[in-house]
Chain A
Amino acid sequence: MSHNIYIYLIIMATVTLAIRILPLTLVQKQFKSQFVKSFLYYVPYVTLSVMTFPAIFQATQSPIVGIIAFIIGIIAAWFNAGLFKVSVICCSVVYILELFFC
């Protein structure tokens, strides 16, 4: 049996949106528990770190270039370069290095 693509898409969108919207609309108070507060405080940093590494050097054509971009990105961010600058720096590093490496 063949399935309808639009029904697939409706299921996909409903689940995706429910996951994102429900907690934000239902949880209107600050949590009381010290543990839950600490847990949620750490979640963004942990999840962004986990997503960045090692994915950054799997995204580029050459892994070495990705690692160099990662290190230079950390240095730039360490000196508070800001979102836009760090991002542009990483892209430029990859673009320039891949002219040589690839």
Chain B
Amino acid sequence: MGRLKFLKSKRKVLAEGFRDGIPIGLGYLAVSFSLGIAAKNAGLSAFQSFLASLFCNASAGEYSGFTVIAANATYVEMFIVTLVANARYLLMSCALSQRMAEGTKLIHRIVLGFYITDELFGITISRKGFVDPYYTYGAILFAGPCWAVGTALGTIAGNLLPLRIVSALSVALYGMFLAIVVPPSRQNKKLLGIVVCSFVLSLACAYLPLVSTLTEGTRIIILTVVISTVAAILFPVKDKEVAEDES
């Protein structure tokens, strides 16, 4: 009986995750398709680009990796470029570690870590309380294959999807980010201010001389570290606040 109840509740959570994984997967198809084209231009076969996406699950990270391959650069360069392009996931992984229930099985931590993408991290962290791995697994079931398959398709078929569709799908991911960031900001004025600052500074950095020459990945990590540090100093979060937010 206890076990049956457990399975039932897990199935519900898994289904919720699957539902939220659908827009992610569709967005992935569009983005990974263009990533596949970049892979092809770098000299990768469809199978190789499929492997890259299956194991890396990173858009900017993979893209910069492909440029390294295209340039026939050294392995050391590949190491450094991948490290820099993925640095923000180190922060996300740390943030996620604070939301894990104590005693969560190692295998859950490894699988969740494997699939820390901007989107999957976003929806995982958007749920209240401790992370329920099964919710994220539901999303992975749909979105995970989309990413790898989309990349391979992009390598094979190039510009098959009409531009209009690609353009529309490419905002799916951003729409989701808004759905994660906005509702808690509505309730927390400090958070609202920080989110608005993030938008403004990000816009400024995209066009300012010097800063705008940095790659997008580097800009994101610098802005994240700087803004979060200032926010943590100015508005330290009380334990009670975090608990209210998460309960």
Contact = CB atoms under 8 A, between A and B. Distances in A.
Chains A and B bind each other: yes
Contact of B202 (A11, A25, A53): A53
Interface in A51-98: 51-56, 59-61, 66, 69-70, 73-74, 76-78, 80-92, 94-95, 98
A9 B48 contact: yes
Nearest to B234: A38
B184 A45 contact: yes
Interface string B216-247: 10011001100111011101110100100000
> Interface extent on B, as a size class?
35 or more
B186 interface: yes
Contacts of A43: 91-92, 94-95, 224, 228
A70 B186 contact: no
A9 B52 contact: yes
Interface stretch (B3-11, B113-121, B151-159): B113-121
A87 B98 contact: no
Interface string B95-119: 1111010100010011011101010
B217 to A, nearest CB: 10
B125 to A, nearest CB: 5
B141 interface: no
B196 to A, nearest CB: 8
A17 B23 contact: no
B175 A89 contact: yes
Contacts of B75: 3, 7-8, 11
A32 B163 CA distance: 50
Interface of B: 19-20, 22-23, 27, 43-44, 48, 51-52, 55-58, 61-62, 65, 68-69, 72-75, 78-79, 82-83, 86-98, 100, 102, 106, 109-110, 112-114, 116, 118, 121-123, 125-126, 163-165, 167-186, 191, 194-195, 198-199, 201-203, 206, 216, 219-220, 223-224, 227-229, 231-233, 235-237, 239, 242
B114 to A, nearest CB: 6
Given A25-B110, A48-B118, A59-B170, A69 B175 contact: yes
Nearest to B116: A20
B228 A94 contact: no
A-B pairs, top 5 by smallest CB distance, nearest first, are: A90-B175, A21-B113, A77-B182, A49-B198, A38-B232
Most chain A Cβ neighbours within 10 Å, of B164, B175, B202: B175
Nearest to A17: B114
Contact of B52 (A12, A34, A81, A90): A12
Nearest to B204: A54
